[in-house]
Structure 1
């Protein structure tokens, strides 16, 4: 596949920052104690409900600040690509 300049810049930024965002979510999931999901399962939640209603809001709170910093960095790096 041959990219023009714009396509190569978009692909490069997407690859770089998608890895950073994935690492943020991984770290956020590891920061939540296992007892949270165990407690949700004990209350009768399914694993999917436990993730959506219990785990994900806590992860969002943990990764909010680093995610904002990552998107600001993406915005700054996009000007370098142009």
Structure 2
């Protein structure tokens, strides 16, 4: 079962925090990134930008969302193939 736990709006982005009970133990909590129009933000491979969390910690999730929205250099690391591959591990 998969469901939205929370969503956050920062800057020009919306972040959906989801829990997937059928996923592996290190990928059950994931934040999916959207732009303000609701379109998925995609990396240079064409995949939607996301970040996995081993445990749900609201402070860590909010910090990621705020930094992604406000720091262009940090954000650009999630838009490259290398960062996306690291996040897939």
Larger Cα Rg: Structure 1 or Structure 2? 1
TM-score, normalization: structure 2?
0.23
Give the structure with the higher percent helix: 1
